[in-house]
A and B are shown apart, each in its own frame.
Chain A
Amino acid sequence: MSDESMHSALVGPGSDWWKPAGRQEKIWVTVSFIWCIFMFAAMPFWHFKGGQNPSGTRGKVDPMAFYARTQKFIEDYSVGTDQGIPVVEPPAGSEVYLLGQMWMWSPVLKLKKGVEYTIHLSSLDLNHGFGLFPVNINIQVVPGYDYALKMTPTEAGEFKIICNEFCGIGHHLMIGKIIVED
């Protein structure tokens, strides 16, 4: 400030306040700016170099059509039931269909470790949330949209799908299962 005066934010600065910033402020703004650019660049970078991106292929789908597709998928590869829910073991690398509806995920999936599947997520009724436990992969499931994500299980074991989007009074009962074998 030319006259070196100072005032609080309650006092008008007069008309001439476009003045050079102090050295410390300038450095901080510069450092922050570079950091912001860096954080931006990290996102496209991870698309090229990283293994976890919520890209997938996305499209609109009629909920009934998705339901029918899931039923067909279940018929094709069903290997039994678990708690009344069909268990499905799809061939390695195939297209997998997982339907959310009030208040269950179907089918139960049996997958192979280290194999890539294309998992189609959609809903028959409301928004649901695909929350893979304990891996902690969380994806929004929106009715009318097919979100097809390539997933490769990296460990064997039993995993749960917790619904993590509020979907009515039975929301907390909505839990599914994925079994990964070596």
Chain B
Amino acid sequence: MKDAISQFAARCRSCPITGLKIDPTASILLRLHAVVSVVCLLIGGIAALLLVLTRWEAVHLLDATWYYRLLTAHGLNMLIFFIIFFEMAVLYFAGPIVLSSRLPAPKLGWLAFVLMVVGTLIVEYYVFAGKADVTFSSYPPLKAAPNYYLGIIFFAVGALIVSLQFVATLVIAKKEGAYTGSMPLVTFGGLTAAIIAVITLLHGALIYIPTYLWSLGLMNVDPQIYRLLFWGLGHSSQQINVAAMVSIWYLLAGLTVGGVVLNEKVSRTAFFLYILFISMASAHHLLVDPGMGPAWKVWNTSYAMYLAVLASMIHGFTVPAGIEMGQRLRGYTNGIFEWLRKAPWSDPGFSGLMISLVIFGFLGGITGVVIGTEQINIIVHNTLRVPGHFHTTVVGGTALSFMAVTYYLLPLIFRKQIRMYPLAKAQPYIFGIGITVMSVAMTFMGVFGVPRRHYDSSFSNALFTADFNPVVYVLQAIFGIGGILAFLGLLIYVLIAVASVFFGRRFDPANPEASAGHVPPGVIKLPKQAHEGGERVAKLHKTGTPGTVVLVIIFFVCFVLYYFVNWKSLAFIWKIG
């Protein structure tokens, strides 16, 4: 054991900026997962553009077959491959790297990576060969070629191994004294994500293995049970995303403005609530399903008190408050909002963090809770409001936070300057605005009854037509423009990431000033991460974070208004019970 540790000490380099020791295998695996993730993002992004240009009826680019095929490809490449590969990279960062620990079993890490890549390749083949036109949720009796399910299983087993190895890293890091006391909050958030990942992936096994056997004709799968277990996987994995995203928020807050953790107890309890309330998530996909009764639905979406929502509302306060306090510690103490005005808005790490926070909170969070209400779901289920909602959570929130953190990972981990840095400064704005415009347009189309996953809302060859309100066609154009803008933001990100990794100039951590103008400011001069108590700090404690208080009041008012507006519009429809 001792030997392994000293070997590690020899192998690993220490980062002069953050002082973190870097295990070389962890660092390579981190980079590989990140690179594959970005490739999947590009595939999913191209599919997204074509989907947008198809659902925008005035363009209607693809034929029906390719619309549904690329819908499947987009869902899988984005929601599963891009996101999960990236999360595995985050786990390598939050574990071995933040804790300056060695990786317990580097070979297992390689095995997991290979499994995930092979699984991905299998799935891509079957989807693009037209043997799995089933959308990412593949509800039976809709059937794909058996190997499609096998590919997903490979991928999931790989991800399971990475998550377990992360947990093992925490154990040996503690044992070998890589850190003392409690782990940093970023790691704690990573741990939350990893635990949820393990539970989620076990759900995955529970559903994909029987489905694989069913596709081979070896057993039966009940369509309703499938939907229940599938969303045990499908939505719990969104909890992984949330936990990973919030960890990244905390991380970026620290790196960009020296944001602090106001209270470890509060933030950690909030993370813990995510784990406790994880399976809630499955139920809100089934609110208008025939298999379960109202008591089951109400209980399982809320466990009687929506504590996972509470958790997000808590982070929604503590993250901006930590940023505000960080800025106040840096001297921006005038008035309520000087900290916000004088924030580094041209640092893509910071702007990405803030835009992600706002989109996730104001749009994603509020719409999610409202449409996940048992009765309100009647006017929402399977309309465009649903993708309108989750493109503000998992895309405007999670994906954007992943993009933002990349601008720090490139110099800190990849040791590369950022290519086209001026473009990088604009990227979070382009992507954020695009996704917001697109999602809001989708949401309103959904209000007019436009369905999701639907090739032709003009019903040109159907028996009957549905004459949508003409506003829908205006909304389609807005949706199209927003989608194209978001695609551009995505493309810029991919180009910058690829160009920097493969053709970037070296970033020299011993002499960061030499890279000025090609890396974010936090990398050149890391804001102070710890402050001794003293008169000044004590005074700031007393003031607290008035700016954040104002922001959450605005947030709360929007939330309450949106909530009641939806109940009101529900009350107008036919009586149903």
Contacts and interface: CB of A to CB of B under 8 A. Distances in A.
B23 interface: no
B481 interface: no
Given A21-B263, A24-B321, A53 B537 contact: no
Contacts of B326: 8
A21 B380 contact: no
Interface residues of A, number: 95
Given A83-B463, A125-B141, A137 B379 contact: yes
Contacts of A6: 260-261, 325, 329, 530-531, 537
A133 interface: yes
B313 A32 contact: yes
B451 A131 contact: yes
A56 B573 CA distance: 16
B454 interface: yes
Given A9-B253, A52-B570, A24 B265 contact: no
B532 A5 contact: yes
Interface in A141-165: 141-147, 149-154, 160, 162-165
Contact of A162 (B222, B302, B466): B466
Contacts of A65: none
Interface in A126-143: 126-127, 129, 131-143
Nearest to A16: B181
Contacts of A136: 379, 383, 447-449, 573
A164 B454 contact: yes
B534 A19 contact: no
Given A6-B531, A40-B302, A140-B381, A145 B291 contact: yes
Interface stretch (B198-206, B369-377, B510-518): B369-377
A137 B575 CA distance: 10
Contacts of B181: 12-15
Given A43-B373, A142-B290, A172-B64, A10 B184 contact: yes
Q: Which of B290, B302, B317 has the largest number of chain A CB atoms within 10 A? A: B290
Interface stretch (A67-75, A93-101, A173-181): A173-181
Interface string A23-56: 1110011011101110110111011001111111
Interface in B286-306: 286-294, 297-298, 301-302, 304-306
Interface stretch (B5-13, B160-168, B415-423, B538-546): B538-546
Given A131-B449, A169-B64, A171-B455, A22 B184 contact: no
A171 B454 contact: yes
B224 interface: yes
A22 B544 contact: yes
B182 interface: yes
Given A9-B253, A15-B181, A145-B290, A46 B375 contact: yes
Nearest to A167: B142
Contact of A54 (B64, B294, B309, B533): B294
Nearest to B463: A83
Given A8-B254, A144-B223, A173 B462 contact: yes
B209 interface: no
A21 B479 CA distance: 43
A164 B314 CA distance: 35
Contacts of B574: 52, 132, 135, 137, 151-154
Interface in B485-543: 529-534, 537-538, 541
Nearest to B135: A166
Contacts of B473: none
Contact of A9 (B184, B380, B549, B560): B184
A36 B448 CA distance: 28
B186 interface: yes
Nearest to A104: B463
Interface in B109-138: 133-135
A101 to B, nearest CB: 12
B374 A43 contact: yes
B214 interface: no
Given A13-B261, A13-B264, A131-B382, A4 B141 contact: no
A52 B306 CA distance: 22
Nearest to B456: A172
Interface residues of B, number: 126
Contacts of A175: 459, 462-466
Given A18-B265, A126-B141, A144-B224, A58 B383 contact: no
Q: Which of A19, A53, A83, A136 has the largest number of chain B CB atoms within 10 A? A: A136
Given A54-B378, A152-B575, A169-B64, A129 B451 contact: yes
Contacts of B452: 164
A32 B290 CA distance: 32
A149 B464 CA distance: 24
B576 A169 contact: no
Interface string B311-323: 0011001100110
A27 to B, nearest CB: 8
Contact of A143 (B141, B185, B549): B141
A138 B381 CA distance: 6
B139 A172 contact: no
A25 B449 contact: no
A174 to B, nearest CB: 7
B345 interface: no
A179 to B, nearest CB: 11
Q: Which of A152, A153, A162 has the largest number of chain B CB atoms within 10 A? A: A162
A150 to B, nearest CB: 5
B228 to A, nearest CB: 11
Interface in B149-204: 179-186, 189
A44 to B, nearest CB: 6
B182 A51 contact: no
Contacts of A4: 533-534, 537-538, 541
Nearest to A139: B288
A147 B290 contact: yes
B310 interface: yes
Given A154-B574, A164-B381, 7 more contacts: A6-B260, A6-B530, A7-B531, A131-B383, A138-B378, A152-B574, A164-B451
19 contacts: A1-B533, A5-B531, A7-B529, A8-B322, A13-B261, A28-B314, A36-B305, A36-B306, A36-B309, A39-B306, A43-B375, A51-B577, A56-B290, A135-B574, A138-B382, A140-B290, A144-B224, A145-B291, A165-B382
Interface of A: 1, 3-15, 17-19, 21-25, 28-29, 31-33, 35-37, 39-40, 42-44, 46-47, 50-56, 58, 83-85, 104, 116, 121-122, 125-127, 129, 131-147, 149-154, 160, 162-169, 171-177
Shortest beta-carbon contacts, A-B, top 4 = A8-B254, A4-B533, A147-B290, A164-B451
